[in-house]
Each structure stands twice: as C-alpha cells, then as structure tokens.
Structure 1
C-alpha cells in the first residue's frame, strides 16, 4: 500500500484546521517535501485553478498554487517522490501544451511525473479562458487519447475529432516511456474513463460504501491505481485514524492520498515520521 500526500500550503480550503498554512511559504513546503521524500512517501499533489469567482471561493477556497512552478521548485529539492497534478483540467489546455510543459517537468525531475487529469466543472473559469464548456467530457476523452499519443514522443502524431496534429517536434518531452494518467471525478463515467483511457482513478466526495459499489461494477486492468483519501486530515497518533487507513485500504485503495493534521511545519514533519511507521503496518 503506497501512501502519498495532499500537499499542504498549496491549496487552502474553507474550514481547514491547519491555520499555520495561511502564512507558510515555499521553504516550509520544500522542507516537508524533503522529509516525505526521505521517508519514502509515494507522491505530493498540486491542483489547478487559474481564477476562482468570489462566491465559488466560499465553497472551494481561493488559494491554488500553480502546479508547474511549484513542482519545478520541489523537483530540485527531492529525488524520489512522485509529483502528481491533482488535477489539471483538460479543457484548459491543448494536449501538446501539456506534453511540452509537463514533459519538461518529467525531464528535470528524472521521470517522476504523474498526470492527474479531470474534465472540470467550473463554468466561469472555462468562460474566462475561452474554453468550450459544452461537450467537455467528449473533448476530454479526445484529449486523453491525444496525450497518450503525444507524451514521451519527439514527433507526436494524433488524428481525432477535436485534436489533430502531425509533423511537429516536441523537445524536450517526457522521459518516462509511459507517463501515468490518473483520472479525477466522482461519477461512474469518470471511473469508466479512467479504466478505458487512464492508469488510475482519483475519486472525491464519495463514501467508502459508494466507492466499493462503483468499483464492483468494473473490471480493473492489471496495475490500475485506485487512489483514495481518508477524508478529513489524518492524525497518525490517533487510534481512530489508524483504523480509518485500514478501512480505506479495504474499500479498494491501491494508493492512499492523505492530508495531515499538524500545528506547524515542524509538527507536520513529525507527523510524517509517525505516518511512515503506521503505513508499513497497513
């Protein structure tokens, strides 16, 4: 069972109890990332929003660090831990833009990129960026096929209904032969999309019972990753939270992506030590 981390500092959600993150900066995050790297955690995450409307921020929060800039910095401060976009919104980008920008990140990090990708739901942000909101699921499927054809290729070629390219050089490109694609979402369609076009599923907002039922409706390919969250921030020293990890594993998780309860960056690193020890028992 791999355990990864929902990175602190880079995303701030309403009601988050870790108040110290409000004033933390990149050096705090880098210290935490280095500790997680040393302790063998699987991944760090960073999400994507360009601009969040004020009313929406009351539910979704307003702080979202840019994943490319953040991971570029953290790649230089770590050596093993994977860097997971959780998630990039496919409709905001041309597939070759992702292939070039994040392929460069894969190069500078030594092949540690995982692309977490989603269809997106914030219409105001689509409109802001001039991205089509209607048929975004269909376009996302085409983008995933285009990405699979383009990532790791110097001369990518793809011909689909929405994206069509050939005779172009992308250099640098991803150094991994196959960059893992994890698909975010909370619907049966997102799970089918992940099974058909990706390498993993990162659901959110579903109970463990709902997850078990949904996972029971599909046959998962060999090596497919089911990346589940324990929910609220995890305190590795609490017996109830140790039980929570076990329940998430029993629900079908191959990888757990956890948020950590902490009072400071120093305390966060201490909690990582405890979680690493606990993780070896799950």
Structure 2
C-alpha cells in the first residue's frame, strides 16, 4: 500500500486545512513537497477549480491553486514523487489540450504525471466556463477516451502534438462516489478515487465488481491525521481504509506550521511502515 500526500496550502478545505495555511506561500509549499519526496511518498495532489460558488465555499473551501501551474512548479523542486491531479474536471478542458499541457509536464518531470479525472459537480462552475452540464457524464467518457488515445503520441487526429508525454500509457484515476464512477474507472481508467464515502460503503461497492490486476484504489481518511499526537486514531483510520481495499492512501496531517507539517509527515511515514506494510 502506497502513501501519498494531499498537498496542503494549494487546497484548503474547512475542517482539514490548518489556519496557518491561509498565509503560507511557495516557500512553505516547497518545504513540504520536498520533505514528502525525500520520505518516499508515492504522490502529491492538486485539485481543479476555477471558481467555487460563494454559497458552497463554507463546505468546499475557496482556495484552489491551479493544478498545472502548481504541479509544474513542484516538479522542479522534487525528483521522484508523482504529480497527481485530484481531480481534473473533464468538462472544463479539451482532451487534446490536456494531452499537450500535461504531456509537457510529464516530459518535464521525467514521466511522473498521474491524471486524476472526474465528471464534476458544480453547476455554477460549468456555467462560468460555458461547459455542458446536462450531458457531462457521457461527454466526460468521450473526452477520457480521446485523452487516452492522444496521450504520448506525436500525431493525433491529423495534428502534431509536440512535445508529448514520455509514454503512451498513463495512470488514470477516476474520481466519484457512485457505482457509475467505479464502472467508469474500470472501463476507462487504471484506478478509482472515491470521495465522501465511508469505508464500509467502499467495501460494499468494490464487492460488486472484479478488479483487474494492478487496478489502483486510492482512498483518503477525509480528515487531517495527527500521527504524533494520536497515533492510535491515525492507525485505526488507515487500517480501515486498507481493509476496505486501498492500494494507495492520500493523506493530510494536522500541523501548526510548515516545519511541524514535515515532522508529522515523517511520523506518518514511520507509522505506515511499522504497521501497514
């Protein structure tokens, strides 16, 4: 089971983000990403929202750094950790534009891109971007198929896309909280990133399908862990996710600042290595 980082600062969800993150910037972000890289974390994440409705900000948060800019910056400050979008909303982007932009990032980072993708759930944001809301599921499936067909290829649909990704395959983690999202992940992706589901709900959904070899199940505790202050609780939450079928964990930790955050990451790494290998 691989351990990943739900990157702080770049996404600030109420109840998970710590107060110090609001004033943090590139220096703190670099320090934390570098620490995760050196500790052997598998991946770090960044989400995709252009604008969050004010009425939803209390629950979803209002701070979302642009994923392409952020992951490109972090690629230059890390050497091994994978760079995961969690998630790109497919309806907001042309699939060939994604193949070009994130393919360029893949080349710059030495093949470290993971594409987390989703259908989207904010009608107001779709309207802001002039994206189709009603048929977003079917359109997302079509876009994902085109993206997979274009990834890592120089010539696509009569057009030259250069530079392009380092390989013609890429990890694609499909987000969602429904059985349909799981079916989409099995049909068009290499992994599933459910959100807003309890461990028992995830277990029940996974029991209805046959997972192919190498299929990733990427789960998150949904809270900021405190491995130094409450190791028992952190272990309980992570063990429940492993029992639910997790192959990858994406975690945030509770901290009073960037230095403390790095210390917490080290404690989390140690906890997983001691008990969940």
TM above 0.5, one fold? yes
Which residue number corresponds to residue 235 of structure 2? Answer: 242
Within a 5 Å distance, the mapping from 1:76-115 to structure 2 comes to 76-115=76-115
Q: Distance in 1 between matches of 2:127 and 2:240?
A: 40
Aligned-residue offset at 1:17: 5.3
Aligned pair 1:124/2:124, yes or no? Answer: yes
Give SS of 2:77's match.
coil
Which residue number corresponds to residue 271 of structure 2? Answer: 278
Within a 5 Å distance, the mapping from 1:205-220 to structure 2 comes to 205-220=196-211
Q: Distance in 2 between matches of 1:230 and 1:167?
A: 44
Which residue number corresponds to residue 200 of structure 1? Answer: 191
Q: So what's the TM-score if we normalise by structure 1?
A: 0.95
Which residue number corresponds to residue 265 of structure 1? Answer: 258
Which residue number corresponds to residue 182 of structure 1? Answer: 173
The 4+ residue runs of structure 1 with deviation greater than 2 A are 14-17
Instruction: Note the aligned Cα RMSD (angstroms).
Output: 0.9
5+ long unaligned stretches in structure 1: 157-165
Aligned pair 1:38/2:38, yes or no? Answer: yes
Q: So what's the TM-score if we normalise by structure 2?
A: 0.97
Which residue number corresponds to residue 48 of structure 1? Answer: 48
* CA deviation vs aligned residue, 1:26-66 (integer Å, no higher than 9, x gap): 11011111111011001100001111121121221110000
Q: Distance in 2 between matches of 1:17 and 1:78?
A: 23
5+ long unaligned stretches in structure 2: none
Which residue number corresponds to residue 226 of structure 1? Answer: 217
Give SS of 2:218's match.
strand
Q: Distance in 2 between matches of 1:29 and 1:88?
A: 21
Q: Distance in 1 between matches of 2:225 and 2:31?
A: 19
Q: Distance in 1 between matches of 2:60 and 2:149?
A: 33
Q: Distance in 1 between matches of 2:104 and 2:86?
A: 18
Within a 5 Å distance, the mapping from 1:3-22 to structure 2 comes to 3-16=3-16, 18-22=18-22
Q: Distance in 2 between matches of 1:152 and 1:234?
A: 37
Q: In the alignment, is the contact (CA less than 8 A) between 2:8 and 2:17 conserved in 1? A: no
Q: In the alignment, is the contact (CA less than 8 A) between 2:85 and 2:115 conserved in 1? A: yes
Aligned pair 1:251/2:265, yes or no? Answer: no
* CA deviation vs aligned residue, 1:121-160 (integer Å, no higher than 9, x gap): 111111111111111100111111111100000012xxxx
Q: Distance in 2 between matches of 1:121 and 1:256?
A: 23
Give SS of 1:280's match.
helix
Aligned pair 1:72/2:72, yes or no? Answer: yes
Q: 1:35 to 1:142 in 2, by over 3 A?
A: same
